């Protein structure tokens, strides 16, 4: 009798196995959590520095202004000054030091029949220009004179240049030619006697 009781105490009930439906639910929750975590990770890691950059939109009204300052190479000239022949004429005729503000960083300066000068700084170009023109002023840059038309016809390499003339104290005219770069700055100056340029 005692042995029967002991055997009853030693016998354990068989563990209950979870049903098949409970396992499926737990597995679905784990898989959903893994997928959701993966989606969040991909979304967060996919954000690059470009996503935080500011985007500047050019208003349509400004496109024509930009197009006018765009060179054939596609570069855009910033703050191109509007130097007219009349402005340059006034600066040259007054021997004004303000003329330096119209020059590019480097100016190719040529005084015909001299060794001057090649590529020079704006300061040097200003000094030379005042020295070489002040005794001949006033210059006229209206480009209406027949001499100017002859020069542009006969010297096709000067077709894009602006041409001013002044009377020479002996005979003929002094011709002052300048060129504007894509930024509207003077990058070339050429001074000669009309006899050296005009072949009628």
Tens-digit pLDDT profile for residues 19-41: 556 666 766 677 766 766 665 55
Handedness of CA 127, 133, 134, 138 (dihedral sign): negative
Is the separation of the CB atoms in 183 and 104 below 8 Å?
yes
What is d(CA 162, CA 154) in angstroms, rounded to the nearest whole number? 15
Q: What is the mean pLDDT of the chain?
A: 72
Residue 73 lies in a domain: no
Rounded to 5 degrees, what are φ and ψ at 90?
-65, -40
Q: What is the CATH number of the domain that holds 190?
A: 3.10.450.50
Q: How far is C-alpha 163 from the geometric centre of its chain's CA atoms?
A: 29
Residue 52 lies in a domain: no
What is d(CA 102, CA 83) in angstroms, rounded to the nearest whole number? 8
Residue 165 lies in a domain: yes
Q: Is residue 43 predicted with pLDDT exceeding 70? A: no
Q: Long-range CB contacts (< 8 A, 24+ apart) of 139-148?
A: 139/89, 139/92, 139/93, 139/164, 139/165, 139/166, 139/174, 139/176, 140/89, 140/164, 140/165, 140/166, 141/85, 141/86, 141/88, 141/89, 142/85, 143/85, 147/173, 147/175, 147/194, 147/198
Handedness of CA 58, 64, 69, 73 (dihedral sign): positive
Tens-digit pLDDT profile for residues 91-130: 998 888 789 999 999 999 999 988 899 999 999 999 999 9
Residue 76 lies in a domain: no
Mean of the pLDDT values across residues 14-21?
A: 55
* pLDDT score for 96: 80
Residue 169 lies in a domain: yes
Rounded to 5 degrees, what are φ and ψ at 161?
-95, 155
Tokens of 189: 């100056």
The better pLDDT of the pair 146, 29 is held by 146
Residue 64 lies in a domain: no
Residue 156 lies in a domain: yes
Mean pLDDT check: name the lowest of 6-10, 85-89, 127-131, 156-160.
6-10
* pLDDT score for 56: 32
Q: Which domain holds residue 154?
A: 85-196
Proportion of the chain above pLDDT 90, given as a percent: 30
* pLDDT score for 171: 76
* pLDDT score for 106: 96
Residue 135 lies in a domain: yes
* pLDDT score for 44: 57
Domains held by the chain: number = 1
* pLDDT score for 16: 56
């Amino acid at each position: 009798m005692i042995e029967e009781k002991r055997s009853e105490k030693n016998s354990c009930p068989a563990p209950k196995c979870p049903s098949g439906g409970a396992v499926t639910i737990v597995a679905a929750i784990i898989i959903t959590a893994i997928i959701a975590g993966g989606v969040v990770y991909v979304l967060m890691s996919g954000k690059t520095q470009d996503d935080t950059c500011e985007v500047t939109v050019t208003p349509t009204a400004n496109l024509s202004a930009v197009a006018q300052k765009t060179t054939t190479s596609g570069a855009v000239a910033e703050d191109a000054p509007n130097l007219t022949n009349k402005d340059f004429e006034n600066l040259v005729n007054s021997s004004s030091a303000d003329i330096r503000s119209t020059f590019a960083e480097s100016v190719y300066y040529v005084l015909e029949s001299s060794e001057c000068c090649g590529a020079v700084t704006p300061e040097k170009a200003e000094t030379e220009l005042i020295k070489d023109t002040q005794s001949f002023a006033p210059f006229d840059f209206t480009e209406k004179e027949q001499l100017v038309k002859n020069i542009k016809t006969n010297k096709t390499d000067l077709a894009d240049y602006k041409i001013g003339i002044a009377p020479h104290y002996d005979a003929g005219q002094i011709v002052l030619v300048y060129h504007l770069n894509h930024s509207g700055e003077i990058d070339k100056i050429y001074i000669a006697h009309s006899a050296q340029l005009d072949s009628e």
